[in-house]
Amino acid sequence: MKPSQFDNVIDQIVDQIQTLYRPKGLRKSRRLGSGQLDNLRASISTIIRASLPLIVGQTETHRYASIHKRSNYYSDGKRYEPSQTYVVHVTNAYEGMIWLGYIKEEKKGVSEKAKGKYLTRYSATKKLLKLFGDIDLELLPVLMPSRQLEEPLIVKVKRELEGENDTPIKVSEQVYYEDTPVTLTMRDNLKRINDNFSKHWVDIALDDKEIHQIRRHLAKTKTDKNDVPETLNLGKRFLHRSFLNTRFNSGGRFYGGWWQIIPKLFRSHIVIDGKKTIELDFSGLHPSLLYGIVDSPLPEDPYDIGIHRDHRDIVKRAFNAMLNAAKPLKRAPKGLKIRQTGLQWRELSHRLLRLHTPINIFFHQEVGNRLQFIDSLIAERIMLRFINEKAGAVVLPVHDSFIVHHGYEYELRNMMIQEFEKLFGQEIGLGKLAQKYFPLSDRPNEEWQSMEFESIVGQNDMGWINRTEWHLNHTY
């Protein structure tokens, strides 16, 4: 497949929508004006990129992409995705591709009052795939990676609306903001980071059956109670930042990379340009940030409240919930299985308060989002330093941890420590996350752990190798 064939497919679909398809209910010419054609191309490209790579693998049930079909979602075309309007993106591109048989609507979205309860789901069809000719399915993600968002700095605020039976529901809405020197710098930095990602290929060293396991796991989870579950699309490698106010000091973490949504146990299989990776994380980052603010030494283990270490993750989640809460919590947060610890919520939360007496003033003050902003600053600095100091090497952020080529472990460790010390004048502990491969299947050969891509190619013929090889041969 030639690199330009993707554009040829888009041109073909645009022409068919323009000449064959007439949108329902529109009392005007079938053809869009010349000023809207670029927007139609962009919308068709987005729909294909979101759905077609999901064909890869064994599963028939977890290949769904999603789309907003509410017209009011597209009412503000100035800040976010200005090329997308309801008439072009939904009425012409989406519904036109359904009419032509290139995509199939799998499940209609459900609205709750004026807001969507969950999005409409759709999948690519074999007819769409045939437009690309004789193509290796394994190469689809690398041949059509996701594009960078037109607006990568997103501000969301939560609003309370009336739901069913007058029950209040909270929804997140994107809001407009005015640019400042700070946002202009953030956007420039993010473009540098994403441009650097475009020169590298990040994959996961699993076969189709194992990738199906990840998709099945993701299908059981939701990133937002009003949204559909995430699905694994290896083409999603560009980042955006999500803030919680227009002062740009709350939230701000980096999202959008497929490696951020997969379960932690699978991350040790990630490869960058065909080479093994390592992952380092900050030990107790948010507690360390708070102790740094009050200039007090951090406890040896900020989550040790005198119970078995197996319950450390529950304690960590309880700690974060108390930081994010606006007032003291009378019961455990939903989904936190504290019964496993043998403690009642009152006792568990009191133990955390006693352990962290120096920073008690921060609990129940909704400071968690402010801490996320601080850790996003550290992440931004580390990614930019690797671009500037390590010839454009890639760093994959996972909020409070970072994944790099195995040969950069020393450099990453130093940068993480240095950037924290610049902010707070204190040292912070680092942890190297487990590199033992999660036992997914009986592999015929684990020799690929030899680290070098060239030695791997001769041993295995898995999709991730083919994708990496194609990208290395077509990136200039």
pLDDT number for residue 440: 42
The predicted pLDDT at position 388 comes to: 97
Give pLDDT, residue 437: 40
The pLDDT tens digits of the residues spanning 18-32 come to 988 877 655 545 677
| Residue 377: pLDDT over 80 | yes
- % residues pLDDT > 90 (the chain): 50
pLDDT at residue number 408: 95
Q: What is the 3-state secondary structure (H, E, C) of the chain?
A: CCCCHHHHHHHHHHHHHHHCCCCCCCCCCCCCCHHHHHHHHHHHHHHHHHHHHHHCCCCCCCCCEEECCCHHHHCCCCCCCCCCCHHHHHHHHHHHHHHHCCEEEEECCEEECCEEEECEEEEECHHHHHCCCCCCHHHHHHHCCCCCCCCCEEEEEEEEEECHHHCEEEEEEECCCCCCHHHHHHHHHHHHHHHHHCCCCEEECCCHHHHHHHHHHHHCCCCCCCCCCCCCCCCCCCCEEEECCCCCCCEEEEECCHHHCCCHHHHHHEEECCEEEEEEEECCHHHHHHHHHCCCCCCCCCCCCCCCHHHHHHHHHHHHHHHHCCCCCCCCCCCCCHHHHCCCHHHHHHHHHHHCHHHHHHCCCCCHHHHHHHHHHHHHHHHHHHHHHCCCCCCEECCCEEEEEHHHHHHHHHHHHHHHHHHHCCCCCEEECCCCCCCCCCCCCCHHHHCCHHHHHCCCCCHHHHHHHHHHHHCC
Determine what percent of the chain is predicted with pLDDT higher than 70.
83
**How would residue 447 be classed by pLDDT, with cut points 50, 70 and 90?**
very low
pLDDT band with cut points at 50, 70 and 90 for residue 279: very high
**CA distance linking residue 161 with residue 364, whole number of Å:** 24
pTM of the model: 0.87
Question: CB within 8 A of 75, min separation 6: which ones?
Answer: none
- Measured distance CA(52)–CA(125) in Å, rounded: 8
**Does the pLDDT of residue 321 top 80, yes or no?**
yes
Contact 387, 188 (CB under 8 A): no
Q: Is the pLDDT of residue 453 over 70?
A: no
Residue with the larger pLDDT of the pair 144 and 387: 387
Tell me the pLDDT band of 348, cut-offs 50, 70 and 90. Answer: very high
Whether the predicted pLDDT of 78 surpasses 90: no
**pLDDT for 62 beyond 80:** no
Q: How confident is the model at residue 436 (pLDDT cuts 50, 70, 90)?
A: very low
Predicted confidence band of residue 444 (pLDDT cuts 50, 70, 90) = very low
pLDDT higher than threshold 80 for residue 255: yes
Q: In whole angstroms, what is the distance from residue 472 CA to residue 469 CA?
A: 5
- Examine the pLDDT at 434 and tell me if it is beyond 60: no
Residue ranges per structural domain of the chain: 288-368
Whole-number average pLDDT of the chain: 84
Highest mean pLDDT among 139-148, 170-179, 181-190, 324-333 belongs to: 181-190
More confident site: 79 or 397: 397
pLDDT-based confidence at residue 134 (cuts at 50, 70, 90):
confident
When pLDDT is averaged across residues 159-180 and rounded to a whole number, the result is 75
- Does the structure show a pLDDT above 80 at 282? yes
Is residue 359 scored above 80 in pLDDT?
yes
Note the pLDDT of residue 24: 64
Residue with the larger pLDDT of the pair 199 and 227: 199
Task: Taking residues 144-173, report their average pLDDT.
Answer: 78
Burial class (CB in 10 A: 0-12, 13-18, 19+), 386: buried
What's the pLDDT score for residue 225? 46
Residues 6+ apart with CB under 8 A from 62: 54, 212, 215, 216, 218, 219, 231
- Residue 317 identity: R
Two tokens at 420? 């924290």
Is 80 exceeded by the pLDDT of residue 443?
A: no
Task: Give dist(CA 464, CA 201) in Å, integer.
Answer: 10
| Poorest-pLDDT segment among 179-183, 262-266, 412-416, 418-422 | 262-266
- 167 versus 291: the higher-pLDDT residue is 291
Lowest mean pLDDT among 266-275, 379-388, 424-433: 424-433
pLDDT band for position 57 (50/70/90)? Answer: low
pLDDT (0 to 100) of residue 476: 54
Mean pLDDT, residues 133-161: 86
Look at residue 191 in the predicted model and tell me its pLDDT: 97
Q: What would the pLDDT profile of 396-431 be if each residue is shown by its tens digit?
A: 999 889 999 999 999 999 999 999 888 887 777 777
377 C-beta neighbours (distance < 10 Å), count: 15
Average pLDDT over residues 345-351: 95
